[in-house]
Amino acid sequence: MNKIINTDKAPKAIGPYSQAVLAGNTLYISGQVPIDPATGAVVEGGIKEQTEQVMKNIEAILTEAGYTFADVVKSTCLLSTMDNFAAMNEVYGKYYSVNPPARAAYAVQKLPLGVMVEIETIAVK
Instruction: CATH number of the domain at 13, please.
Output: 3.30.1330.40
Would you say residue 27 has pLDDT above 90?
yes
> With bands split at pLDDT 50, 70 and 90, how would you rate the model's confidence at 18?
very high
pLDDT value, residue 112:
92
Tell me, yes or no, if the pTM score tops 0.75.
yes
Would you say residue 9 has pLDDT above 90?
yes
Compute the distance between CA of residue 110 and CA of residue 72 in angstroms, rounded to an integer: 26
Q: Once rounded to an integer, what is the mean pLDDT over residues 49-59?
A: 98
Would you say residue 15 has pLDDT above 90?
no
Residue 77 structural domain: 3-124
- For 113, the 3-state DSSP assignment is helix
| Number of domains composing the chain | 1
List, edge to edge, every strand of the sheet that includes 117-124.
3-5, 20-23, 26-32, 117-124, 72-79, 102-107
